[in-house]
Structure 1
Amino acid sequence: MRLLSILFFYTLFGDLFKDITISIIIGLGSFILGHLPITYRNIKTRKLRKFVGHSSKNGHSIIVTVPIFHPKDCLTDGSNNNRYKKQNLDNDESYFPGPENVMADNDVSASSFVITMLNPISKEIIIPQNDEKTLDIWQNHSIFCIGSPVSNMKTRLLFDQINEMNDPLKKLPIQWKEAPDDLYKVRLINTADNQEYISTKDLDYGLILKISNPFSPRDFIFVTAGIAEFGTLASSQYLKNNWEYLYKESKCKSFFCVVSVNPHHTQIINKVSFKVIDF
């Protein structure tokens, strides 16, 4: 009797229950699949915040310093004239003062790579002016310096201050050295491994450096800089595209990474060396 009741009930409502079950399974599957990308983005964002530093977790601003050039300073007569020239519609050339603070095109691209990486985690990205007090900039922020101490005055001031604060035996493991016999007159020296990198017309080197920010506990200082502009572009692009790899390899500690790039093929970037450091 019970078996007949079950068969009768299944005959009447079996298809209905089957349709409901299938609908529930499809609905749950769609919900899970729909939220997987969001969950992945949230995990990736949290990882990036940890990689960049504590201030990014609190929604504080992130500092990005860039190389600024002053064409007026290059004029032998000290005037504001003849810094730029342009060709008019009638093919005549004219000269004009133009802007004083300018950036090279590859430095602009390098900055855009870093800023694009930071956009998901930063409430505001601040590019300080040259006349701002340096110590006021370094405090309570994670800092990204685009360009070496040769091209970016903020990077130079930062390196000088850090070296002055630390024990004389504990200096930054990276140096830029003027070299008159070099094509670009600058060499990158890795003092930790006693390795020297020299640019040529077919090869440039870039550095990605991450160290603790002594002016802001739990924040970090990043430097993406090349011997020439192509190395700066390559190191910034490598950081944007491979920060998860660097995060994993460094275990969120301080490190430096040297990359190489052919100035004629800037999309091909090779990692030359990587080392976790105590700094």
Structure 2
Amino acid sequence: MTHPGEREADRWLRCFHPRVSAEHTLVCFPHAGGAASYYHGISAALAPDVETLVVQYPGREKRLFEEPAPSVEWLADAVARALVARGVQRPVLFGHSRGAIVAFETARRLHRTAGQPAALVASACAAPSHPEARRALGDGLAGQSDTEVLTRLLGLGGTDADVAQHAELIELVLPALRADLAALTRYRAAPDATVPCPVSVYAADDDPDVPAADAALWGRHAAGGTVEVHRFEGGHFYFGSLPRPFLDRLQQTVRTARKGIAFA
């Protein structure tokens, strides 16, 4: 029998490819304005021993007519509850861009629960306490016009160019995106806030928003004070075409973290 907590969890967590014999769980957090379907390809491409859950934020796709999240902290509270209700144990949390901040705060809330994460992967995002994280992800876009915001997002590669040709699609996408940016602008991480798990940082060579030096600052927030930084070819949305080096690294990260092995 399904209880209310499990039904609520289904609203927050999408599983495109259930794998009943999977040994590892990867939980993906989309970028600002992003939706769960962006990770369908990753879910399909990973090996059968990895089951992928994707966070579905309110205000898009199947939750289109729900109010977007008012804050990063509110989102993290809700996702943590959903993971606990679903009974997810020792997942690896993968957050891309704004999603890395939400994943970080979710990891903090899962501390001392059965769902305590095995690792956090922060992709294309500066450290939470670094001002660059807010400037690049929130402050830099929050006050711009709809055209400027959409142009910026298309330039980064996070939205299909076809969307720009359809006014009705833009009207559906922009409210959630603006709400996400506003939440980021208000977000403030404590400089000493940490997660009780290893942190691996994925960054792209041609991403103007996350220089190599900024990626390394995630060490401030990691257990033990150090992180592994892995760099990939491409821009901010470097994994959009599912490059093999990215998939191999992600799969290795999931497997080694779940077994308690240090990242290689």
Same structural fold, with TM-score higher than 0.5 when normalized by the shorter chain? no
Pick 1 or 2: higher relative contact order, CA cutoff 8 A, min separation 6.
2
> Which has a greater percent of strand?
1
TM-score, structure 2 as length reference: 0.31
> Which has a greater percent of helix?
2
TM-score, structure 1 as length reference: 0.30
